[in-house]
Chain A
């Protein structure tokens, strides 16, 4: 919802909705949603592919025919065939193996990034909404500020600062050195994750704050408070469960965007450290020779598109399933 706009007055239906929501995690609500999700063929297909991809990423060392960095200078740009199922790249490395290992990077950036953003956003928004008053006002001003910062520019700026500012060898601080070596161990993914998480939690904070605000006034929360429940307990037992549904939807829909952001960062030279493969980096490498060796850009392109497609379908399906108004 855009800033400064008050939602339309509640319809009679809203009362229903509140009742459903108040059954925090009630069996039938989730069962109901699950049933509706299974009824959505696209969402089921999307979900199945996502699960499959996760399995591939987890089992990468077992599934990949070769190691992602193993190359043969005699086989550079080999076409897809018996030797290399999806061909070989400019260093004679197996494209299939790099795709399989690349799934790890792309999925981790997408999923972990979205989850971190979710945690930050929900924690921040809930505290603001629940606290209300001045604290809420001040906290939301910060959110508005970040919201006004063009996120792509912010992410570029952050990554340059992280990679160069922290990357300096002379820095004596042990913490900085530990962070830098952790980033290297992760193939340069840590800073990308940090940059992505720091720029994408803002929308979730608004969502969480809005829900916290409206839930604060509901009978069951009022009752819990009247019975002397501590604020922390109210938040954890009553507010968070209600946020999980819309949260899952948001996170699922955010993942494809983050995967695409990683690809963009690779294109402008701020991606993962080679030879670590990410789909975005593979596309950026392959696109320069797309006309001569199309397999280098096309296969990671397909993998990326397919993954984003599936997350989108799954997200849409989850939203339909978790929104009680969608009942037919």
Chain B
């Protein structure tokens, strides 16, 4: 009996141990010259024509133009040069000569045409399709009312591509760094969704996927057919899927990762003070804004004075210095610094922290000391950080205004839609910019055509941001966005901007990375020594 048990168990354990033999082939991965990084989740399918841009896709496929964050200007990538028509609606791109895919075939304008058509093709069911709606007929094609060939993107010849917009949009070029990556039509048509697997993938960017083990690791190697391959320093990048930020940090400290960028806030003080980790720590800005939305459809936040009072009672400095602790910048307005349309602090736009003023506004609104104020429900998507911030703000509103605030953490996908439909009185949102232009925030988040019933709506604001979208003069646009921000965060207080995120990362000393803010890290610019 005991023997049987023992044999059975030994057998099971042997089978289990044997299974490691299959996985052993990877041991060489970190041994080779290259770097190891962490992905916070599995990329799933990263086909850039049907999905939000993933960091893996950004390394492998060429965009028409890139964005220089130093000078805030577009720079050539696959397109060597471009011209804009008189009316500002038609862009004509000329591709570099001699671009090739990793299978040796030439990269042509048709590859870009195919990519844009795939994005709006209703068959691809791509969630990013709406981003292309500024292109002529895109919305109609996506709705199935017109054939894909009607889309305003045309390959005139092998090296010339024209894109026609519905209206002049100066922000359009900057949006091309996160959309419209060239896609190899032949490989994609031949293999269906499997075309992004290592055995099928064809790329034209600096790196190429050579190994993919779902939920475990993705390995990129330098692509020698990339037009600037000589300047790509790191030969191999291994991404390990590690969801837990504490585990990522432990792996970094044990030398199993060379770079991490999600650090638990509670560990930041130790890292800064540590002799070894301190110098490896980098802190810089990111183009992401953290904000609270108001439900303006019902009391008490249907009154602008109440919204003002709650905004003035929120001490953003305490949130960033005590809770997030990672050098985040308290936000007065929505658009992050460094992007077109950012409103500088000096303009005085926004509602500063002022508890006395907050109490006065609340009293004026008819709720002196919070008397008669209904219970406020604050919603956030369940995560430790959002919950911690919500608890701090709950305390501020209770202490300063005498408000009763209940917290509601909602997990997963139900969150944003429910919230916008009015499930909470005030709720947390965040927005990572796709391109560095205020248009990406105002038009996509607060224009009446996109907002849900319970959220901020304002005809004057709509008119101003529509005007700013098509204005071609930079100064005029800056001025218009300044007015728009004042309506949004100061006069109407549809939202409370709380802070702009910071890049908190640790990089091993042998890795050199460019320390300018970027939307998407491009490893072609990194070096190891």
A290 CB–B CB distance under 8 Å: yes
Residues of B in contact, count (CB < 8 Å): 33
Contact between chains at A184 and B406 (CB < 8 Å): yes
| Residue in B closest to A289 when the chains form the complex, CB atoms | B266
Q: Write the A139-167 contact mask toward B (1 if CB under 8 angstroms, else 0).
A: 00000000000000000000010011001
Contact flags B288-318 to A (C-beta < 8 A → 1, else 0): 0000000000000000000000000000001
| A77–B406 alpha-carbon span in the complex (Å) | 24
Give Cα A163 to B382, complex, Å: 12
Residue ID in chain A nearest B323 by CB atoms: A90
Q: Are A287 and B246 in contact (CB under 8 A)?
A: yes
Q: Residues of A contacting B410 with CB < 8 Å?
A: 163-164, 167
Q: Tell me if A303 is interfacial: C-beta within 8 Å of chain B.
A: no
- Say whether A22 faces chain B, with CB atoms less than 8 Å apart: no
A169 to B427, CA, bound (A): 14
* Distance, CA A270 to CA B382, complexed state (A): 8
| Contact for A288 among B246, B318, B394, CB less than 8 A | B246
Decide: A273 and B395 in contact? CB cutoff 8 A.
Answer: no
Question: Does residue A292 face the partner (Cβ distance < 8 Å to B)?
Answer: yes
A288 to B267, CA, bound (A): 8
Measured between beta carbons, the chain A residues less than 8 angstroms from B267 are: 288-289, 291-292
A274: interface (CB < 8 Å): yes
Question: What's the Cα separation between A291 and B268 when bound, in Å?
Answer: 10
Identify B382's interface contact among A269, A289, A293, A296, CB under 8 A: A269
- In the assembled complex, the CB of B375 is this many whole angstroms from the nearest CB of chain A, namely 9
Main secondary structure of the interface of B (DSSP, over half): helix
Cβ A273 vs Cβ B406 within 8 A: yes
In the complex, the answer to whether B392 meets A269 with C-beta atoms within 8 Å is no
If A90-B323, A273-B407, A291-B267 touch, does A73 touch B318 (CB 8 Å cutoff)? yes
* Beta-carbon nearest neighbor of A284 in chain B: B384
Q: Does A91 contact B (CB under 8 A)?
A: yes
**Separation in Å of the B1 CB from the closest CB of chain A?**
15
A168 nearest in chain B by CB position: B423
A90 to B267, CA, bound (A): 11
Q: Does B339 contact A (CB under 8 A)?
A: no
The answer to whether A91 and B266 touch across the interface, beta carbons within 8 angstroms, is: no
Check if A164 sits within 8 Å of B391, measured CB to CB.
no
CA distance in complex: A91, B388 (Å): 8
Q: Give the contacting residue for B322; candidates A73, A274, A287, A290; CB below 8 A.
A: A73
Which residues does chain B contribute within 8 Å of A76, judged by CB atoms?
A: 322
Can you list, as one digit per residue, whether each of B406-446 has a CB less than 8 Å from chain A (1) or not (0)? Answer: 11111100100010001100000000000000000000000
The interface bits of chain A over 259-283 (1 if a CB of B lies within 8 angstroms of the residue's CB, else 0) are 0000000000110011100000000
Nearest-CB distance from B154 to chain A (Å)? 47
Residues of B within 8 A of A69 (CB): 395
Cβ-based interface call for B264 (8 A): yes
Whether, in the assembled complex, A136 has its beta carbon less than 8 Å from a beta carbon of chain B, the answer is: no
A3 CA to B268 CA in the complex, in Å? 53
B269 close to A (CB within 8 Å): yes
Any chain B CB within 8 A of the CB of A71? Answer: yes
Interface string of B261-291 (1 = CB under 8 A from A): 0001111111000000000000000000000
Q: Which residue of B lies closest to A292 (CB)?
A: B270
- The reply to whether A269 and B383 contact each other, CB–CB distance below 8 Å, is yes
Closest to A184 in B: B406
Chain B residues near A168: list those with CB within 8 A.
418, 423
Distance in angstroms between the alpha carbons of A51 and B234 in the assembled complex: 63
Is B135 at the interface (CB under 8 A from chain A)? no
- Residues B266 and A77 in contact, CB atoms below 8 Å apart: yes
Q: Does any Cβ of A come within 8 Å of B505's Cβ?
A: no
B390 within 8 A of A: yes
Q: Are A71 and B246 in contact (CB under 8 A)?
A: no
Q: Which of A38-86 contact B (CB under 8 A)?
A: 69, 71, 73, 76-77
**A320 an interface residue at 8 Å Cβ cutoff?**
no
Closest residue of A by beta carbon distance from B392: A91
Whether B245 sits at the interface, judged by CB under 8 Å, is yes
Decide if B409 touches A269 in the complex (CB within 8 Å): yes
- Beyond A90-B323, A290-B246, whether A275 also contacts B269 by CB under 8 A is no
CB-based contact A77/B269 at 8 Å: yes
Q: A91-B391, A269-B411 known; 4 other A-B pairs, CB under 8 Å?
A: A164-B418, A273-B407, A274-B407, A285-B384
Name B's A-contacting residues (CB within 8 A): 245-246, 249, 264-270, 318, 322-323, 382-384, 387-388, 390-392, 394-395, 406-411, 414, 418, 422-423
Return 30 A-B CB contacts under 8 Å, by A number.
Answer: A71-B395, A77-B266, A90-B322, A91-B323, A91-B388, A91-B392, A91-B395, A92-B322, A163-B410, A164-B410, A167-B410, A168-B423, A169-B423, A269-B382, A269-B383, A269-B409, A270-B382, A273-B406, A273-B407, A273-B408, A274-B390, A274-B391, A274-B407, A284-B384, A288-B245, A288-B246, A288-B265, A288-B384, A290-B246, A292-B269
Report the 8 A-B pairs with minimum CB-CB distance, sorted nearest first: A289-B266, A269-B382, A292-B270, A288-B264, A292-B267, A73-B322, A76-B322, A269-B411
